[in-house]
Amino acid sequence: MRVRLGPAAALALLFVLAGCSDAQDAVNDATTGAVKARDCAQLASDTLQSRIADAQQVDQQEVEQAAQRLADRIDQIQDTDLKSAAESLRASLQRAADAAAQGDTSALQKAREQAVAAARRAAGECGIPVDRFTG
């Protein structure tokens, strides 16, 4: 059986199909936003645990562990800008851990400043205050 649609019915069908597409787009946007929010929360937590912004003391082991946690998470991050910020943050934390292990206070200070700057960038990508990353 073949059904013929009049112009009004065809137009109505197009609107319904367009509405389904818009609804799917909204679901996809919401899912992407939720995934990014989860990634941001994890990055902020890991960075905060490193206490990298603490000018009084940087614990090599805490910073090393934070860098490793970030390395473990980076491949799971879907947002390319956030992923880039996380990679920069991880590299800065690793440099800080290496400098702390060597007792190189000058290199440690530079790496700490770079890590805080990278945390600012990540916080900006997440749209959250930097103190969620730095304390």
Concatenate the DSSP letters of all residues of 33-49 into one string.
Answer: HHHHHHHHHHHHHHHHH
Q: Is residue 2 part of a domain?
A: no
| pTM greater than 0.75 | no
Q: Is residue 105 part of a domain?
A: yes
Q: Is residue 107 part of a domain?
A: yes
What digits encode the pLDDT tens for the residues 8-26? 555 565 556 666 555 555 5
Q: Is residue 67 part of a domain?
A: yes
| Confidence band for 114, pLDDT divided at 50, 70 and 90 | very high
Q: Is residue 1 part of a domain?
A: no
Q: How many domains does the chain divide into?
A: 1
Q: Is residue 27 part of a domain?
A: yes
Provide the residue range defining the domain that includes 68. Answer: 7-134
pLDDT of the residue at 124: 93
pLDDT beyond 80 at 31: no
CA of 121: how far to CAs of 10, 25, 37, 83, 134, in Å? 49, 28, 15, 11, 12
What digits encode the pLDDT tens for the residues 67-80? 899 899 898 998 99
Taking each helix axis as running N to C, give the angle between helix 60-74 and helix 80-102, from 0 to 180 degrees, rounded to the nearest 10: 150
SS (H, E, C) the chain: CCCCCCHHHHHHHHHHHHHHHHHHHHHHHHHHHHHHHHHHHHHHHHHHHHCCCCCCCCCHHHHHHHHHHHHHHHCCCCCHHHHHHHHHHHHHHHHHHHHHHHCCHHHHHHHHHHHHHHHHHHHHHHCCCCHHHHC
Q: What is the DSSP letter of 55?
A: S
